[in-house]
Amino acid sequence: MTTTVELTRFRVSPERAAHLLAARPGMLADFRADRAGFLGARLVRLPGDEWLDIVEWRTPEDFAASRAKGGNLPGIRAFFDLIDELVSAEAGATADSESRS
């Protein structure tokens, strides 16, 4: 099954990193409750106060609908508000057939 993968790279100041991690469960809960086609997400801490959020969607349309909603719920907004700078955002499709476990 091919899925859509959202890759968002952003910066968070070191003093806000713990708050970002604390806000993550609320963001994911709101995504599960409100975003059709949300399959899961992984947050990767990179050097230089950067983070990479890897979010998987069932279809490109599900991803587009989610993006249009933005930070519409408190848990999502709380996470987004901790981001100091957006570095990059892009999407692609999975190229292998391995399923998530």
Q: What is the pLDDT of residues 64-97, one digit of tens each?
A: 999 999 999 999 999 999 999 999 999 999 998 6
How high does pLDDT run on average in the chain?
95
Nearest residue to 57 (alpha-carbon basis) of 44, 49, 68: 68
Mean pLDDT for 45-71 is 97
The answer to the question of residue 98 being in a domain is no
CATH number for the domain that contains residue 22: 3.30.70.100
- Decide if 38 contacts 62 (C-beta within 8 A): yes
Residue 1: is its pLDDT beyond 90? no
- The predicted model scores a pTM of 0.91
DSSP assignment of 29-63: HHHHHH-TTEEEEEEEEETTTEEEEEEEESSHHHH
The answer to the question of residue 100 being in a domain is no
Distance CA 64, CA 70 (A): 10
Q: Which domain holds residue 35?
A: 4-90
- Per the structure, the count of domains in the chain is 1
The answer to the question of residue 41 being in a domain is yes
